[in-house]
C-alpha cells in the first residue's frame, strides 16, 4: 500500500473527516516533495527532526503562510509519524522540534447587516435551490458543508428542528428550523424524493454513505430517507452501473453568492460562510445569551464564539466621535 493510501486508511479508522484526511495527504506530499532531490524521493523514516524544522520554517519564512496553514502541516506530519509509521520508526522518532512559526494575526469576520442580507436574498432567483440554502444558512448558522450534506432524515418538520450530523469535530447538534422556511423545505424534500424515485426507475437512486454505515445498514444506499435534501443535478454511475447522486457542490453555491454580491453592489467580500457569521452576530445583537449561540454554532470553546462580540453593534456602549460632537456643536 502506498504511503498516502496508508494515511487515508489510518485516517478513516481514526474517524477523521474526509476533508481532514485530504488535507493531511496534501501536506505529507508537500513535505516529501520539499526534501526530494533530483527526482530521488526519501522515505519518511530517513527524515527526522532537522528535516521537519526546515520544512516548517520554509513555510513561514519563504512561502509566508498563515499560522493556521502551518499548524495544518504540523498536525499532518505528526499524524504521519505518530499514527501511520509508528510501528516502523517508533514513537520517539521525531522528538521535540522547534521551527520558525508564522504569526497568528487577529482577524475579525466580515458580517452583513440585516438589510444587506435581505438585499442578497432578494436578488437571487426566488425559487432557486441555492437561495433556499442561503436562507437556511443565515437562519440556522449552518456551515457550508453541513448545509450541502443535509439528508431528508435530518429535517424534523413536526418538532421544528434540524439535526446536524457529524459536524466539525465529528459532533452532532440540533438547530432550529426557521418557521418562515418550513413550507419551502417541505417542497424541497418532496422534489428530492420525486427525483429519487425517477433515479430508481433508471437504475440509480443510490447515495454515498460512510464506509461503516455501508456495512451496518446496506439498505440505506437506496433508501429515500438517506437521500440528500439538496441533491446534485448530476447522476454519476460507478463501474458496476449503479447511479449515485451526491449533494450540491459547495463551489457552485459560492459562485452563486459571489454573483449575487456583485449584482447587489455590496462592498464586502461575501462567501457562504459569511451568513454563519451574520447569524451569530445578529443573535447576540438581539440579546440572546452567548452560551445559546455557542450551542447553535457547535463551538467547543466559548472563546471561539466571543469573536462575534467584537463586531456586533453595541448601542449601550456606543462612543460618539469627537468630530460629530464638534460638527454638532458648530451646527
Beta strands in 208-278 (DSSP E): 236-237, 243-244
Catalytic residue among 25, 143, 247, 277: 143
Annotation marks residue 308 as catalytic: yes
Catalytic residue among 93, 165, 168, 193: 168
| 177, 185 contact by CB (below 8 A) | yes
| 76, 32 contact by CB (below 8 A) | no
Annotation marks residue 125 as catalytic: no
Residues 6+ apart with CB under 8 A from 229: 150, 151, 152, 154, 155, 185, 188, 189, 192
Q: Which residue has the cell 429515500?
A: 224
Annotation marks residue 143 as catalytic: yes
| 257, 250 contact by CB (below 8 A) | no
Q: Which residue has the cell 463551538?
A: 299
Catalytic residue among 81, 138, 244, 308: 308
| 148, 272 contact by CB (below 8 A) | no
- The residue among 134, 232, 146, 142 whose CA lies nearest residue 184 is 134
* 112 φ/ψ angles, rounded to the nearest 5 degrees: -90, 150
Annotation marks residue 244 as catalytic: no
Q: Give the separation between CA 135 and CA 258, rounded to whole angstroms.
A: 15
Question: Within the chain, how many helices (H) and strands (E) appear?
Answer: 15, 5
Catalytic residue among 130, 151, 247, 276: 276
Q: Give the separation between CA 4 and CA 19, rounded to whole angstroms.
A: 14
Catalytic residue among 153, 193, 258, 273: 273
Catalytic residue among 165, 193, 249, 299: 299
Q: Give the separation between CA 90 and CA 86, rounded to whole angstroms.
A: 5
**Which amino acids are annotated catalytic?**
143, 168, 273, 276, 299, 308
Amino acid at each position: 500500500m502506498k504511503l498516502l493510501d496508508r494515511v487515508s486508511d489510518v485516517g478513516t479508522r481514526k474517524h477523521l473527516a474526509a476533508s481532514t484526511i485530504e488535507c493531511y495527504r496534501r501536506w505529507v506530499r508537500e513535505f516529501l516533495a520539499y526534501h526530494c532531490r533530483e527526482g530521488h524521493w526519501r522515505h519518511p523514516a530517513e527524515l527526522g527532526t532537522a528535516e521537519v524544522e526546515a520544512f516548517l520554517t520554509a513555510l513561514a519564512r519563504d512561502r509566508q503562510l498563515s499560522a493556521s496553514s502551518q499548524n495544518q502541516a504540523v498536525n499532518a506530519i505528526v499524524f504521519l509519524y505518530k499514527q501511520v509509521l509508528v510501528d516502523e520508526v517508533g514513537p520517539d522518532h521525531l522528538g521535540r522540534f522547534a521551527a520558525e512559526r508564522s504569526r497568528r494575526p487577529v482577524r475579525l469576520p466580515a458580517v452583513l447587516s440585516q438589510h444587506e442580507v435581505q438585499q442578497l436574498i432578494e436578488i437571487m432567483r426566488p425559487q432557486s435551490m441555492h437561495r433556499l440554502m442561503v436562507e437556511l444558512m443565515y437562519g440556522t448558522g449552518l456551515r457550508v458543508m453541513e448545509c450541502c450534506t443535509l439528508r431528508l432524515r435530518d429535517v424534523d418538520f413536526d418538532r421544528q428542528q434540524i439535526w446536524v450530523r457529524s459536524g466539525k469535530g465529528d459532533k452532532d447538534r440540533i438547530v432550529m428550523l426557521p418557521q418562515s422556511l418550513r413550507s419551502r423545505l417541505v417542497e424541497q424534500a418532496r422534489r428530492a424524493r420525486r427525483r429519487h424515485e425517477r433515479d430508481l426507475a433508471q437504475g440509480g437512486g443510490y447515495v454515498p454513505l460512510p464506509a461503516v454505515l455501508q456495512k451496518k445498514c446496506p439498505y440505506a444506499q437506496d433508501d429515500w430517507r438517506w437521500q440528500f435534501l439538496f441533491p446534485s443535478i448530476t447522476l454519476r454511475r460507478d463501474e458496476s452501473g449503479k447511479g449515485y447522486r451526491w449533494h450540491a457542490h459547495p463551489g457552485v453555491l459560492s459562485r452563486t453568492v459571489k454573483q449575487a454580491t456583485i449584482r447587489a453592489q455590496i462592498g464586502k467580500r461575501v462567501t457562504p460562510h459569511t451568513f454563519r457569521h451574520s447569524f451569530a452576530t445578529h443573535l447576540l445583537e438581539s440579546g440572546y445569551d452567548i452560551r445559546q449561540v455557542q450551542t447553535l454554532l457547535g463551538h467547543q470553546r466559548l472563546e471561539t464564539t466571543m469573536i462575534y462580540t467584537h463586531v456586533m453593534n453595541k448601542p449601550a456602549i456606543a462612543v460618539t466621535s469627537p468630530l460629530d460632537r464638534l460638527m454638532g456643536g458648530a451646527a
